Amino acid sequence: MTKAELRQIAQQALESEYGFAPAMSKITLLEANGEGTYILFSVKGKEYCFDSRLLVDGTIWVGKGTIEKREEV
């Protein structure tokens, strides 16, 4: 997966879970696996963790329940 593809997945997951989709340039990737089913990223200093699965057709599920906001320390 390219960084642009990972940002797009994160953007779609945020829109699905929280109702907002930041510009891809505002998404900072922190870590991810190669297939895009796990992405740790931040937007405006807030960290989010995307954790999903591949569907039968090879796409990644980005619906409700796939993303959570990390607690601030």
2-52 pLDDT, tens digit per residue, is 999 999 999 999 999 999 999 999 999 999 998 999 999 999 999 999 999
- Indicate whether 72 pLDDT > 70: no
The pTM score is 0.90
Token pair in block for residue 48: 């989010």
d(CA 8, CA 21): 10
By DSSP bridging, strand 38-43 and strand 27-32 are: antiparallel
Q: Where are the beta strands (DSSP E) in 4-66?
A: 27-32, 38-43, 46-51
Strand order in the sheet with 67-69: 27-32, 38-43, 46-51, 67-69
d(CA 32, CA 18): 21
